[in-house]
Amino acid sequence: MQRPRPEALPKQKRLAKRREFVRVYESGQKVFSRYAVLFFAGNDLSHSRIGITATKKLGKANLRNRLKRWTREIYRRQREPLALDARSLDIVVNVKPNAAGASFQDYSRDLARVLERVVSDSARRTP
């Protein structure tokens, strides 16, 4: 019996260190959406990475963790259709407090739309 391949977002495709986040904040561009603010900057790797922040303004830990899981899942699903790995971007998603009341469908639609904007803005930025 063949084991299904894991669909989790690999650790090397995530931002983890504070200095990585700070670099994106300081040198990158900013895009706003209804439920999140996205910062993005190019990187020197062969793939894109994502970092997610969910502050205590959102609510308790279980709610923050759910929104971070949703964000990772939406990003994972959009990676291939938007060719995010081909762009070599570092993306930081700051989840807004109003996302706490959003359904997965609303949040997913909003984040997918803003990821499309990130791709188009990054394409305009690089020749």
d(CA 127, CA 106): 33
Read off the pLDDT of residues 15-70 as tens digits, 9 standing for 90 and up.
989 999 999 999 999 999 999 999 999 999 888 999 999 999 999 999 999 999 99
Domains assigned to the chain: 13-125 (3.30.230.10)
pTM: 0.88
pLDDT tens, position by position, 87-111: 889 999 999 999 999 999 999 999 9
User: What integer pLDDT is reported at residue 123 of this predicted model?
Assistant: 77
DSSP 8-state secondary structure symbol assigned to residue 38: E
Alpha carbon 107 to chain centroid distance?
12
Whether the CB-CB separation of 50 and 84 falls below 8 Å is answered with no
Token digits of residue 57: 């303004």
